[in-house]
Chain A
Amino acid sequence: MKFVSIATKGIKETVRDRKGLAMLLVFPMAFMLVFGFAFGGTEGENTPHEIAVLNYDTGTVLYHNNTTEQMNFGNNFTQLLEELKYEDSDVHLFHLNNVSEEKAEDMLSDRDIACIVIIPANFSNAMRAMINNTIRTEITSNVGEMIVGMNVTGWNATTGTYYYDIENNTLYLDGEPVNTITTSFGFESYPANYSLPVVENITAELIIKGDTGYIGFGMAQGIISGILEQYENEVRSKAKEEVSGYFGAAKQIPNNFVYSKVKGIAGTESFTTFDYQAPGIIVFALLLLVVGVASTLAGEVAHGTLERLKITKMKSFDLLLGTLIPWALIAIAQVFILFLVAIAMGYHWQGGITTIALAIMIGIIGGISSISLGLLVAAFSKSEKHAENLGMIVAVPMSFIVGAFFPLPRAVIGEFFGRTFQAYDVLPWAHTVNALRSVLTFGSGLGDVVYDIAMMLVLTVILFVLGVICFSKTRLRAE
């Protein structure tokens, strides 16, 4: 495995070249520190985010305690958005524009609003399914899944382990009463058949639509995602709390399972421009790998070591894979270290450990894009110095072009997979910036960044193949 030997060589050289390593890690860290100091403070007076909510929710019927209730969770959520305020402030978080979909799209294009929140028709039904699932899980964890769906009224007490006496409303375990169950639980039990609620397979997708390159969208989207998550948790915990009352101390049956409460959103008072920029600085660091890769490979050419390797049994594949591995490791280290520095500088990281793992994966792909570009630069460089200069000329402007530091102007060139495709989207790092920002700043999961990851992969493969062809043609063949 010759590529392993070449990779090991690369790792040793990188670790032993302290100046070079410092340049790779400290330079972006300095950027992170400077940007952290410059943009890490609060953005002055909080103002409401302009948004539009398109509520298509048709509502649902909830059954409980022998009564029915018409419920529209979409309205409930919209009202919540309208009433929410910044933490420790009287300023509302959002100003909701009551406009048509067409008008909302126009406003979004003009950046008059930060985003459009689209509540789907089945939002309430999905919430009901979620509540039913919560109730079912809660009850079965108390009395056991075995009674679920069982015709308990015809159950023979002498043959079963569990027995439910419908007349006395009592559940027996091995002949002993374990609890008294109220005459009705679960929303599907009306008028009263004593079965657990059936969980329907309904999922609803609330869409937060906007321009990912626009800082206003970034902020609004992050907050709304957080609110939605909190809203779901609140509803779920309320249902759980009420149901568990049947099995513990006597508790009054609630009249309403779902309600909302308005309170300040933690962290919103300090959402800063730096939160938007920190992932971009990580991408800037990844782009600097272009300089490192290009100068390393150009150095191998200039010092004759590549020629020395060429006369051995080494194949192009060994050299390129062996070169790629240490630089990919550097990319991981960069993402991790810069992330920690960003946190230290007050970056408001959303999400858990999984977002770091996801960010590292995105970082590796972004790193390989940079390595590929480094191969291209090395293919056309005459010396190490030339490669460094050329690499810088390419990498630094590129970081601005892909929106690493500041939002980009709109440059739409068409639609792709139902998404607006901007001119700079042909560069894989534009997707790296978007994906890292979504994951780290807005706490998005894999599903939210699949498009960006897929685009990065496709564009990286194209760039890598191009780099390999050019480098092999100019540097690896007999002259």
Chain B
Amino acid sequence: MTDIEYVIETQDLTKKYNSFLAVDDLNLRIKKGEVFGFLGPNGAGKTTSIKMMVGLLKPTKGRVLIEGEEIKSVEKGKIGVCPQDLVIWDGLTCEENIALIGDMYEVPGNVLKEGIKQLLRDLILSDKTKILASQLSGGMKRRLNLAMALIHEPEIVVLDEPSAGLDPQSRLVLWDYIHSLSKEKGKTIILTTHLMEEADRLSDRIAIMDHGKLLVLDTPESLKKKIGRGDVVEIQLSNPEMNDKVVSLMRSMEGIEEVKEIKGKVNVRALDAVSKLSGMIRSIEKMGINIVDTSIRRNTLEDVFIHLTGRGLRE
């Protein structure tokens, strides 16, 4: 029996395209009212999972339950989806785009009119009401894309990389709005993103996927504590061909948690990294290798991700 606290539950959700396994036995439970972050590199299976959760894709195996009910029998207006791509009609105005989707969800006329006004105001598009979507900037289109997912007041909102390609100002507007959707309006939000900061800042819990599999699921703080503890030292050598040697050297040192080569630099994660930094530098220089730059920073969600997936999100 499904616990009613969970609005979405996936059971052994699997999608196969011929021999390619896009999603492999995904088991998730998403709580009502939480912002659920979905992280994973390109091709990890996030969007495929989401498409199955909203009924756009048929799973090869497993099922999706929305408040305990099979997805195919759930009323369509329960979920609102803001797709990863800008899915708007360029030949329609902002108002017409939202109104069309509202009509498709059978939102009554007066409610629709008010809803459009409110959404355009909240997403700072009021002055663009009668402007064709084709004439909007990228950020405005992204906000319009979100407004179209919300016009029918869905209980569950799926945001597939909502801030991709946004400038910092637009991103902040969007983040504030997503935050208010969850905390003030009580919506359950599923958020996929490539931006670690976004996931860290907005998500109550984060699931990290790779190769179609769920690798880990926890709050951002717990993930940072449990996985990838300590600080990170980034070392850039004058000759990157020596990176392998340095990686081996660092791994042989005591008190080192993890060493990886990422984007031409050697990343060393260690507890109390500040006190170990001078020893690291000395060992490298003893091998006759020149260091161009070193830096030390706190462990981030990206480090957690790299620890789990072995590669950067934008690779």
Contact = CB atoms under 8 A, between A and B. Distances in A.
Interface of A: 2, 5-6, 9, 12-13, 16-17, 303-305, 307-314, 478-479
B106 A313 contact: yes
Nearest to B145: A308
Interface in B89-106: 89, 91-92, 96, 99-101, 103-106
Interface string B82-118: 0101011101100010011101111000000000000
A303 B104 contact: no
Contact of A12 (B54, B91, B148): B91
9 contacts: A9-B89, A9-B100, A13-B89, A303-B85, A304-B83, A305-B87, A308-B148, A309-B104, A311-B79
Interface string B71-88: 000001101010101011
Contacts of B101: 308, 312
Contacts of A304: 83, 85, 87
Contacts of A309: 104
Nearest to B82: A308
Contact of A16 (B56, B87, B132): B132
A313 B247 CA distance: 56
Contacts of B92: 9, 12-13
B44 to A, nearest CB: 19
A311 B99 CA distance: 16
Contacts of A311: 54-56, 76, 79, 81
A197 B105 CA distance: 70
A368 to B, nearest CB: 23
Contacts of B100: 5-6, 9
B58 interface: yes
B56 A312 contact: no
A346 B209 CA distance: 71
A32 B133 CA distance: 36
A307 B88 CA distance: 11
B104 A312 contact: yes
A19 to B, nearest CB: 12
A479 B104 contact: no
Contacts of A313: 76-77, 104-106
A17 B91 contact: yes
Given A308-B148, A309-B104, A313-B104, A13 B81 contact: no
B57 interface: yes
Interface in B12-66: 54-58
B105 A308 contact: no
Given A16-B91, A16-B132, A313-B77, A478 B104 contact: no
A16 B131 CA distance: 13
Given A2-B103, A313-B104, A305 B89 contact: yes
Nearest to A17: B91
Contact of A479 (B58, B77, B81, B89): B58
B150 to A, nearest CB: 13
Given A9-B89, A16-B91, A313-B76, 10 more contacts: A5-B99, A5-B103, A9-B96, A12-B92, A307-B83, A307-B87, A311-B56, A312-B105, A313-B104, A478-B58
A284 to B, nearest CB: 26
Looking at chain A's contact residues, the main secondary structure is helix
Interface in B189-237: none
- Among A6, A16, A312, A479, which residue has the most Cβ atoms of chain B within 10 A? A312
A134 B77 CA distance: 70
B104 A5 contact: yes
Contacts of A2: 103-104, 106
A310 B56 contact: yes
A304 B105 CA distance: 17
A10 to B, nearest CB: 10
Contacts of B56: 307, 310-311, 478-479
Nearest to B149: A308
A478 B55 contact: yes
Contacts of A16: 91, 132
A16 B87 CA distance: 19
A314 B87 contact: no
B89 A314 contact: no
A312 B103 CA distance: 9
Given A9-B96, A304-B87, A312 B76 contact: yes
A476 to B, nearest CB: 11
| Pairs of residues from A and B, 6 with the lowest C-beta to C-beta distance, nearest first | A312-B104, A13-B91, A5-B103, A304-B87, A314-B104, A308-B87
A117 to B, nearest CB: 55
A478 B87 contact: no
A8 to B, nearest CB: 8
- Among A12, A16, A478, which residue has the most Cβ atoms of chain B within 10 A? A478
A12 B97 CA distance: 11
- Among B81, B96, B101, B103, which residue has the most Cβ atoms of chain A within 10 A? B103
Nearest to B83: A304
A478 B48 CA distance: 12
A50 B77 CA distance: 71
B81 A308 contact: yes
B48 to A, nearest CB: 10
A304 B91 CA distance: 15
Contacts of B81: 308, 311
B274 to A, nearest CB: 49
A80 B247 CA distance: 109
Nearest to A300: B89
Interface string B159-170: 000000000000
Nearest to A6: B100
- Among A2, A6, A13, A313, which residue has the most Cβ atoms of chain B within 10 A? A313
A12 B101 CA distance: 15
B225 to A, nearest CB: 38
A16 B88 CA distance: 15
- Among A13, A309, A311, A312, which residue has the most Cβ atoms of chain B within 10 A? A311
Contacts of B91: 12-13, 16-17
A13 B96 CA distance: 11
A308 B83 contact: yes
A4 B102 CA distance: 13
Interface string B169-194: 00000000000000000000000000
B95 to A, nearest CB: 12
Contacts of A303: 85, 87
Nearest to A1: B103
B165 to A, nearest CB: 16
